[in-house]
């Protein structure tokens, strides 16, 4: 009886440890990978936008991606969401092109401590944009 229990335990351990796969687990696909953008910002389940600040040039775009499972939002603080505002479910992405210069602060409406900034500079040689 003891031998059969020990053998059964060994079979269970072996079946759990050997799932037939020799490959390491793969990372989830990057929803911003195929976008033609100047920068990517990740919204994480750690309640942060990473990186928190991105600098681009007028006419360039930013791709925000939700790399976690929690739902986040992107809300332009300076215009109360009139410029860009939307839900970002896990695994989704949002791209926005900035047509003029300035500093744009944004936040997640679901998690008030999640904030970020996009700095949009003028094209080289332009004084005003």
Q: With helix as H, strand as E and coil as C, how does the chain read?
A: CHHHHHHHHHHHHHHHHCCCCCCCCCCCCCCCCCCCCCEEEEEECCCEEECCEEEEECCCEEEEEECCCCCEEEEECCCCCCCCEEEECCCCEEEEECCCCEEEEEECCCCCCCEEEEEEECCCCCCCC
User: What pTM value is reported for the model?
Assistant: 0.72
The Cα 88–Cα 70 span in angstroms is 9
Q: List the chain domain ranges.
A: 29-121
**Strands across the sheet with 115-121, in order?**
53-57, 115-121, 102-107, 72-76, 85-88
Tell me: pLDDT of 14 over 50.
Answer: no
Note the pLDDT tens digit of each residue in 90-126: 999 999 999 999 999 999 999 999 999 999 999 888 8
Longest dimension (CA), the chain: 86
Q: Provide the CATH number for the domain formed by 29-121 in this structure.
A: 2.60.40.420
| Range with lowest mean pLDDT among 8-22, 50-64, 82-96, 115-129 | 8-22
């Amino acid at each position: 009886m003891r031998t059969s229990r020990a053998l059964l335990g060994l079979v269970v351990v072996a079946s759990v440890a050997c799932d037939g796969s020799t490959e390491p687990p793969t990372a989830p696909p990057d929803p911003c990978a195929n976008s033609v953008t100047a920068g990517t910002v990740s919204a994480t389940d750690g309640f942060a936008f990473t990186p928190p600040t991105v600098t681009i040039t007028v006419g360039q775009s930013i791709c925000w991606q939700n790399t976690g499972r929690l739902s986040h939002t992107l809300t332009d603080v300076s215009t109360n969401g009139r410029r860009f505002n939307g839900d970002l479910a896990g695994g989704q992405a949002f791209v926005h092109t900035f047509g003029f210069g300035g500093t744009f602060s944004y936040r997640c409406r679901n998690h008030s401590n999640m904030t970020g900034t996009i700095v949009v500079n003028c094209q080289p040689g332009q004084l005003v944009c």
